[in-house]
């Protein structure tokens, strides 16, 4: 179709213009496509465009890379269904193996009804997530994302989760339910694993802790010291430590909860805590618990309330224990605890704070109430106990202090109650006493004195003085009694009646006794040979068993003849039954050492003692001598003792002679030896004027 007509010429021009326009449009379209291709090639995901028949229009580089095995099949106009079928035949889709048609049909149905994400496994092991949408013109736009790494992470999480020996659950904060639980969690809570999924999380917590638990489940928490009470399937209580981690699993927010079962540990801890605070035998609170309670009640932050502590000490318990054995002793303690428990108010706490020591902590009790309880305990524990076949007699002595009157400091209060107990023991066992401030003053004074005395012993500040023993017939010195003197740096001379008992209680009597014997024997060695030495010994020196050795050492170190030494002992030594005192006395006598019964007439003065032991002298106590002029009875006693001594062949010495008339009377009565201020007080050896005489005589 050709022509030169103007119309055709116009037509020709028009055609040419149209062609040019078309050309320009095509070029523009090409440029746009290039730009589009460049843009989609830059995307990290695979992109594919299909037409309404499912034929390839466009795909990007990433898409070709993902489906590298099928890349040779990718051509515009080729149907995706055909490339899939060939791919299946080639084995590019491992999931299709053995069910090729079924797989293909499912895949195509997804393609035709897009909107649902799905995953696809390729033969190279990569997992691809596919998301497809319909376009306005009936075509399809498809997205391919390689999710292999994510799948691997999910898989390792799954393995770690399911196979973990620690109970783990995944909590869904949106529905407040358990999304997943591992076998350990199911076992921990006692649910079949299937029932854990979808379970309301609330069912696993103690009702009153659910609100806190919700807060916990919404955070990351790894608090080791918070113990959660949880509920098992059967309703029993569990205790757990919970760690939580916020996470996103399969696109959903989730909390991963690790559960550490501490039920058993807490039970053991509770048991141990109980044991640490209770006495095993009686089940009562122990000393630590007593202190703790007292500290708690008297803590400054607590509102002040009256707190009274009573310390109960069982009298004669040791004797029962020694005589009948521990089994009986223990049964007795348990019975005593039982009796006391029945007598104390509900709010009071009974504690066993030592072997046979108990304490009662009263709260808001009046003095009268405490008095009543203390009295009833003393009566109750003073009533015989029947243990096995034995009828046992003990008793109770009680010391009481109260806060805030005496002190609000728990340790001071305990000390005060102890001082009251001590005072009560000294005055009247089997009763009770309240603390008095004077007790503290006395205790402090005593404690200072103890320190000073210990110092004096260690520094050798104690001195031995000598008081003459006079032959009443001729007035000559027959011997000296060694007497210990303590000159306190600030108090001056302290009476032996004060510091000797102190030495005994402080356990220093052996040391002190040794010092006196050694010093006196050494000094007496230089006296004239007819002048003897008398040394007092304490019953405690007999008890410790060192006396014989001490005497032997003092004699051998000094070289003093045993016959010149005389030991003055009191009846208390003889009242200590048992073979020990008796054998020591006989051994001493066998050495040749004289034995004097001191302070005769003040104790039991049993004649049996005089007959059973090898005494060489009796010293009539000075109380009889001092009252001799006024008391007929004293004179009668003196006469009897002198008569007795004579018939037993013993020397008799009268102590405390201060007047010549008394001396004369005693001499006339037949008393052979005298001692007292009339003849001289005790003085240091150097002032006796004997040193030279001794030297000359020797
Ligand atoms: Mg004496």
CA of 212 to the centre of ligand 1 (A): 82
CA of 600 to the centre of ligand 1 (A): 10
- Ramachandran assignment for 657, one of left (phi > 0), alpha (psi -120 to 50 degrees), beta (any other): beta
Per-residue pLDDT tens over the stretch 79-90:
999 999 999 998
Task: Report the C-alpha gap between 180 and 171 in whole angstroms.
Answer: 7
CA of 483 to the centre of ligand 1 (A): 8
CA of 654 to the centre of ligand 1 (A): 11
Q: Average of pLDDT values for 513-526?
A: 94
Q: Average of pLDDT values for 600-618?
A: 80
CA of 613 to the centre of ligand 1 (A): 18
Task: Report the C-alpha gap between 138 and 111 in whole angstroms.
Answer: 12
CA of 517 to the centre of ligand 1 (A): 14
Q: Average of pLDDT values for 171-200?
A: 94
Q: What are the Cα distances from residue 358, in Å, to 31, 406, 569, 651? A: 104, 20, 38, 52
- Count CA atoms closer than 13 A to 236's CA, side-chain side: 7
Per-residue pLDDT tens over the stretch 322-378:
888 889 999 999 999 999 999 999 999 999 998 899 999 999 899 999 999 999 999
CA of 571 to the centre of ligand 1 (A): 12
The residues that bridge with 231 in the sheet, in sequence order, are: 237
Q: Average of pLDDT values for 441-464?
A: 89
Task: Report the C-alpha gap between 432 and 539 in whole angstroms.
Answer: 30
The residues that bridge with 480 in the sheet, in sequence order, are: 468, 533
Whether 595 shows a pLDDT value over 90: the answer reads yes
Whether 396 shows a pLDDT value over 90: the answer reads yes
Q: Which range has the worst mean pLDDT, 49-58, 168-177, 627-636, 643-652?
A: 627-636
Nearest to 577 by CA among 629, 539, 538: 539
CA of 455 to the centre of ligand 1 (A): 25
Instruction: Name the E strands within 335-418.
Output: 349-352, 357-363, 385-387, 390-392, 395-403
Whether 5 shows a pLDDT value over 70: the answer reads no
- Asked whether the CA dihedral 689, 695, 697, 698 is positive or negative, the reply is positive
pLDDT number for residue 9 = 65
Collapse the DSSP code of 579 into the 3-class scheme (helix H, G, I; strand E, B; otherwise coil) and give the result.
helix
Q: CATH topology for 43-142? A: Beta-Lactamase (3.30.450)
pLDDT bucket at 697, cuts 50 / 70 / 90 = very low
Task: Report the C-alpha gap between 233 and 193 in whole angstroms.
Answer: 12
CA of 447 to the centre of ligand 1 (A): 27
Contact 348, 363 (CB under 8 A): yes
Question: Which DSSP letter does residue 547 get?
Answer: H
- Mean of per-residue pLDDT scores for the chain: 89
Task: Report the C-alpha gap between 129 and 154 in whole angstroms.
Answer: 14
CA of 536 to the centre of ligand 1 (A): 5
Contact 472, 666 (CB under 8 A): yes
- Give pTM, 2 decimals: 0.51
Q: Which tokens belong to 71?
A: 């890349």
Phi and psi for 404 in degrees, rounded to 5? -90, 5
CA of 633 to the centre of ligand 1 (A): 23
CATH of the domain spanning 456-697: 3.20.20.450
Task: Report the C-alpha gap between 651 and 659 in whole angstroms.
Answer: 21
Whether 22 shows a pLDDT value over 70: the answer reads yes
CA of 477 to the centre of ligand 1 (A): 17
CA of 657 to the centre of ligand 1 (A): 14
CA of 458 to the centre of ligand 1 (A): 24
Residue whose pair of structure tokens reads 């489940």 in the numeric block: 217
Cβ atoms within 10 Å of 286's Cβ, excluding its own:
19
CA of 132 to the centre of ligand 1 (A): 122
CA of 617 to the centre of ligand 1 (A): 12
CA of 599 to the centre of ligand 1 (A): 7
Q: Average of pLDDT values for 474-486?
A: 94
CA of 676 to the centre of ligand 1 (A): 12
pLDDT number for residue 18 = 82
CA of 581 to the centre of ligand 1 (A): 19
CA of 567 to the centre of ligand 1 (A): 9
Whether 6 shows a pLDDT value over 90: the answer reads no
Instruction: Name the E strands within 140-278.
Output: 140-146, 168-172, 177-181, 228-231, 237-249, 252-261
Task: Report the C-alpha gap between 180 and 195 in whole angstroms.
Answer: 10
CA of 534 to the centre of ligand 1 (A): 8
The alpha carbon of residue 202 and the mean position of all alpha carbons in its chain are separated, in whole angstroms, by 38
Contact 658, 680 (CB under 8 A): no
DSSP string, 257-274: EEEEE-HHHHHHHHHHHH
CA of 452 to the centre of ligand 1 (A): 25
Per-residue pLDDT tens over the stretch 613-653:
899 999 999 889 988 888 888 888 899 889 989 888 999 99
Contact 422, 399 (CB under 8 A): yes
CA of 428 to the centre of ligand 1 (A): 29
CA of 619 to the centre of ligand 1 (A): 8
CA of 598 to the centre of ligand 1 (A): 6
Task: Report the C-alpha gap between 478 and 470 in whole angstroms.
Answer: 6
The residues that bridge with 246 in the sheet, in sequence order, are: 255
Residues 6+ positions from 417 with CB-CB distance below 8 Å: 309, 310, 311, 359, 399, 400, 401, 435
Instruction: Name the E strands within 51-167.
Output: 56-59, 118-121, 127-134, 140-146
CA of 316 to the centre of ligand 1 (A): 32
User: What count of residues does the chain have?
Assistant: 698
CA of 655 to the centre of ligand 1 (A): 9
Contact 116, 110 (CB under 8 A): yes
Q: Average of pLDDT values for 478-488?
A: 94
CA of 695 to the centre of ligand 1 (A): 27
pLDDT bucket at 10, cuts 50 / 70 / 90 = low
- Asked whether the CA dihedral 269, 270, 275, 277 is positive or negative, the reply is positive
What pairing do the DSSP bridges indicate for beta strands 390-392 and 385-387?
Answer: antiparallel
Collapse the DSSP code of 564 into the 3-class scheme (helix H, G, I; strand E, B; otherwise coil) and give the result.
helix
Per-residue pLDDT tens over the stretch 560-570:
999 999 999 98
CA of 482 to the centre of ligand 1 (A): 8
CATH of the domain spanning 152-266: 3.30.450.20
CA of 520 to the centre of ligand 1 (A): 14
Residue whose pair of structure tokens reads 């037409």 in the numeric block: 51
pLDDT number for residue 409 = 92
Q: Which tokens belong to 692?
A: 């030279």
Highest mean predicted confidence (pLDDT) among 16-20, 186-190, 573-577: 186-190
CA of 570 to the centre of ligand 1 (A): 8
The domain 278-435 is placed in CATH, from the list 3.10.20.600, 3.30.470.30, 3.40.50.920, 3.30.70.270, at 3.30.70.270
Nearby residues for ligand 1 (ion, Cβ within 5 Å): 536, 568, 598
CA of 481 to the centre of ligand 1 (A): 7
């Amino acid at each position: 179709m050709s022509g030169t007509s103007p119309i055709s010429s116009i037509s020709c021009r028009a055609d040419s213009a149209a062609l040019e326009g078309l050309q320009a449009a095509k070029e523009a379209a090409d440029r746009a496509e290039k730009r589009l291709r460049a843009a989609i090639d830059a995307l990290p995901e695979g992109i594919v465009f299909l037409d309404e028949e499912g034929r390839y229009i466009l795909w990007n580089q990433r898409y070709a890379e993902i489906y590298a095995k099928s890349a040779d099949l990718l051509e515009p106009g080729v149907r995706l269904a055909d490339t899939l079928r060939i791919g299946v035949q080639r084995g590019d889709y491992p999931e299709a193996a053995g069910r090729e048609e079924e797989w293909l049909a499912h895949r195509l149905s997804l393609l035709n009804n897009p909107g649902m994400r799905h995953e696809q496994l390729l033969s190279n092991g990569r997992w691809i997530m596919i998301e497809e949408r319909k376009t306005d013109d009936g075509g399809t736009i498809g997205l391919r994302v390689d999710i292999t790494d994510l799948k691997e992470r999910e898989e390792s999480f799954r393995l770690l989760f399911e196979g973990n020996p620690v109970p783990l659950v995944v909590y869904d904060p949106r529905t407040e339910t358990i999304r997943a639980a591992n076998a350990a969690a199911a076992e921990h809570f006692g649910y079949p694993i299937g029932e854990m999924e979808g379970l309301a999380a609330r069912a696993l917590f103690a009702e009153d802790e659910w609100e806190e638990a919700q807060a916990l489940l919404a955070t990351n928490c790894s608090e080791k010291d918070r113990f959660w009470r949880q509920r098992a399937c059967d309703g029993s209580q569990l205790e757990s430590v919970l760690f939580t981690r916020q996470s996103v699993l399969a696109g959903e927010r989730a909390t991963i909860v690790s559960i550490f079962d501490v039920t058993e540990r807490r039970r053991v801890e509770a048991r141990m805590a109980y044991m640490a605070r209770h006495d095993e035998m009686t089940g009562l609170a122990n000393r630590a618990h007593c202190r703790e309670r007292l500290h708690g009640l008297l803590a400054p932050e607590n509102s002040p309330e009256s707190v009274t502590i009573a310390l109960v000490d069982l009298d004669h318990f040791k004797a029962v224990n020694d005589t009948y054995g521990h089994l009986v002793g223990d049964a007795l303690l348990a019975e005593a605890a039982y009796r006391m428990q029945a007598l104390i108010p509900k709010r009071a706490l009974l504690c066993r704070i030592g072997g046979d020591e108990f304490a009662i902590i009263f709260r808001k009790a009046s003095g009268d109430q405490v008095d009543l309880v203390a009295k009833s305990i003393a009566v109750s524990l003073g009533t015989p106990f029947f243990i096995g076949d034995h009828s046992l007699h003990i008793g109770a002595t009680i010391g009481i202090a109260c806060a805030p009157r005496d002190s609000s400091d728990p340790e001071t209060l305990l000390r005060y109650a102890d001082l009251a107990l001590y005072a009560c023991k000294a005055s009247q066992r089997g009763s009770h006493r309240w603390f008095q401030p004077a007790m503290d003053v006395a205790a402090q004074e005593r404690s200072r004195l103890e320190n000073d005395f210990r110092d004096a012993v260690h520094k050798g500040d104690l001195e031995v003085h000598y008081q003459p023993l006079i032959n009443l017939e001729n007035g000559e010195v027959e011997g000296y009694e060694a007497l210990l003197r303590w000159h306190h740096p600030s108090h001056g001379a302290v009476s032996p009646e004060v510091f000797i008992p102190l030495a005994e209680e402080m356990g220093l009597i052996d040391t002190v006794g040794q010092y006196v014997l050694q010093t006196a024997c050494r000094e007496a060695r230089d006296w004239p040979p007819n002048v003897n030495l008398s040394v007092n010994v304490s019953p405690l020196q007999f008890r410790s068993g060192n006396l014989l050795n001490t005497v032997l050492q003092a004699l051998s170190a000094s070289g003093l003849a045993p016959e010149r030494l005389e030991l003055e002992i009191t009846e208390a030594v003889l009242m200590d039954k048992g073979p020990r005192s008796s054998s020591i006395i006989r051994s001493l006598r066998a050495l040749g050492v004289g034995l004097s019964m001191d302070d005769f007439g003040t104790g039991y003065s049993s004649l049996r003692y005089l007959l059973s032991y090898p005494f060489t002298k009796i010293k009539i106590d000075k109380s009889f001598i001092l009252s001799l002029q006024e008391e007929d009875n004293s004179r009668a006693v003196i006469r009897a003792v002198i008569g007795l001594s004579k018939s037993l062949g013993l020397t008799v010495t009268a102590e405390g002679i201060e007047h010549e008339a008394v001396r004369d009377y005693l001499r006339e009565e037949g008393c052979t030896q005298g001692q007292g201020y009339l003849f001289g007080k005790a003085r240091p050896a150097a002032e006796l004027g004997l040193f030279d005489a001794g030297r000359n005589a020797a």
